[in-house]
Structure 1
Amino acid sequence: PSGNYLAAIADNKQLILFHTRPWRCLSVRTAARRCTSLAIPQAEDRVLLADKSGDIYSFSIHQPQEAGHLQLGHLSMLLAVAVSPDDRYLVTSDRDEKIRVSFLEKPHVIEAFCLGHSEFVSELFIPPNHPQLLVSGSGDGTLRLWDFTRGKELHCCDLRSLEPWCRGSEERQVAVVRITHSLQGDYLAVLCDKKSQKIQI
């Protein structure tokens, strides 16, 4: 997105939407349950909000007082949501190791599942310079690269194998918290628990 909008969720389940040019608060709306992740598509027409009950709600940006509309549901808590750069696909992940690829405009239609993680899938990232790829992070300590519309795993990186990062760690338990990228798009930065590691792609 262009950065014209910023969405934030408060502990009291309020979704707060800002316009950034100039800065002003557009709306404060209440979500049904506590939010776990959110995303704004390239069209900047809605905020997609994932909650702890496993549902995705869509909140209109252009109708800032309109209530959210249920889009889809998982059987377990949703942890991450991402939208493909062409606004065609909605990608969601949950604490039961599953990644689901649905169509944004028809979210009840599932295109693929990306299966391979052995713990909760905590983060999803679609690199802007590689929009056909998905990077996922998990409580199993791995980063996985996917051809996500086909549900095909292309590569797996076990972060616990990185040295000297994990040296001296007896349990070697690593959970991915956040994934982002450099402006040039050549690097991913991965936040794991209380440590970080930069990996070239």
Structure 2
Amino acid sequence: MEDTTMEEGETNKDIEVAPALMAVHPAQESVAVAVGSELRVFDLHGGSAVSLVDDSCGPSHKDSIRAIRYGAKGKLFVSAGDDKLVKIWSTESWRCICTVSSEKRVSAVALSNDGLYVCFADKFGVVWVVDLDGFDGNEALVSKKAAPMLSHYCSIITSLEFSPDGRFIVSADRDFKIRVTVFPKKPLDGVHEIQSFCLGHTEFVSCLSFVYTSDYPQGFLVSGSGDSTVRLWDISSGSLLDTCKVESKAGLLESRRGEECNSPVTNLCTIPDGTLIAVAIQSLQGILLLSCDLSARTLSIAKVVSIKGEAFIPTSLSTSSSGLLWMVAGVSNLRGCDHPSLARVRVISGFRESSVCSPEHEPTVLEDNETPGGDKLLEKLQGSLLVEEKVFLAAAEAVKIAMSNLLVKKQYSSEKRDLRKRNRNDRKIKQ
């Protein structure tokens, strides 16, 4: 392949914006938003903001948080990011019970379905595991260290997911690969059995999720990518079942004005108790809903839900058993702005109806006063600042550039490769 010139991101290496992230408790007991190094949590049951307490004797987050996740049972919450810290929180007390230091910046996290293991991936392609044996919900965990579990060979891992039955851990990377690995009984000893590879994307894989029902408890994997597709997979064999090209369906082809690049899928999540998949696409002010026919193994467009009246391009999606879809748009470290870190939260309801396509059963974007938690929640998760529409448009553009710089692989001349090697400074943190 012919070498190309240095990418834009290299000339602005010190500018690293991070998208706002959102996670919702499985039973919707609380909602969390991460913006930069700040973690904001709101208790929906108590109707009040949460004050986080750190009992782990470790440092607080000092750099952008890149991954947040609730455990399947909702008892644990994990945050991790560019400061190479993985912090494990008890959601009963919102105390940090353990801080684990990573050797590299963390890009993705996942918790095993039984709540016994926390897995996290770094930007060098290694997946690590932390054993939570001894956690009783209250006491802090002492001297927990991570053990290497598997590797993608120097490729940034973008997403980690456990299968619904807990048998497999699925990892995706920027080199277009999805790896399905058998999760062993003793993961601290490493994993040694690869079930399959799901190959077919032509750009980085950005996000993963599972869609499953009582009739199909093992579920099927869905993946979003920089190639503007959402794909459906059978993970047991790695077979590609269906591909949905979402860019044209979302009406983004005309808006790109002849640009050669795709509109990447930035995030997706499955609506519980059904076969609907909410998809966030770069530049789309709203979400795209896909319907998955599990018996036919197909994906189809259900509806585009637009956010009207404001520039809202989601950077993260999350849902819970309540059936509400929570979304956040925002960014940290936005240069040239009075408010370098900002977030906007919106919620969509109406996914439990028999048909989301009929006019009387359309999903509804809730107004701020209809959002669970109301003004108190929005003030905690967003802050009390009123931000102009053009600032959110600038934030969306900054996220777009940052995502491209991080995940689109660059080509260098031999001279530039030698220079980069000489200037590398990969110091490991002693644990």
* TM-score (structure 1 length as normaliser): 0.92
Q: What is the rounded CA distance, in whole Å, between the counterparts of 2:246 and 2:176 in structure 1?
A: 17
Match in the other structure for 2:172: 93
Which of 182, 206, 210 pairs up with 1:103? 182
Unaligned residue ranges in structure 1 (runs of 5+): none
Matched, 1:152 2:239: yes
Change beyond 3 A, Cα 1:103–1:174: same
1:17-62 CA deviation, whole Å, 9 max, x = no partner? 1111232211122111111111011110111101100000001223
SS in 2 for 1:126: strand
* Preserved CA contact (<8 Å) 2:210 2:270: no
Q: What is the rounded CA distance, in whole Å, between the counterparts of 1:163 and 1:180 in structure 2?
A: 17
- Correspondences of 1:47-126 after superposition (within 5 Å): 47-62=118-133, 64=141, 65-75=143-153, 76-105=155-184, 107-126=191-210
Match in the other structure for 2:280: 191
Match in the other structure for 1:138: 225
Q: What is the rounded CA distance, in whole Å, between the counterparts of 2:148 and 2:160 in structure 1?
A: 14
State the 1:107 CA deviation. 2.2
Greater per-residue helix proportion: 2
Which residue identity is paired with 2:150?
L
* Preserved CA contact (<8 Å) 2:127 2:149: yes
Unaligned residue ranges in structure 2 (runs of 5+): 1-71, 135-140, 185-189, 293-431
- Alignment: residue pair count: 201
Identity of aligned residues (%): 31
Which of 109, 115, 125 pairs up with 1:38? 109
Structure 1 moving runs of 4+ over 6 Å: none
SS in 2 for 1:174: coil
Which residue identity is paired with 1:70?
P
Greater per-residue strand proportion: 1
SS in 2 for 1:33: coil
* TM-score (structure 2 length as normaliser): 0.45
* Preserved CA contact (<8 Å) 2:263 2:283: no
Q: What is the rounded CA distance, in whole Å, between the counterparts of 2:133 and 2:279 in structure 1?
A: 34
**Higher normalized contact order (CA 8 Å, seq sep 6+, divided by chain length):** 2
Which of 265, 269, 272 pairs up with 1:176? 265
* Preserved CA contact (<8 Å) 2:212 2:220: no
* Preserved CA contact (<8 Å) 1:132 1:148: no
Q: What is the rounded CA distance, in whole Å, between the counterparts of 1:194 and 1:160 in structure 2?
A: 10
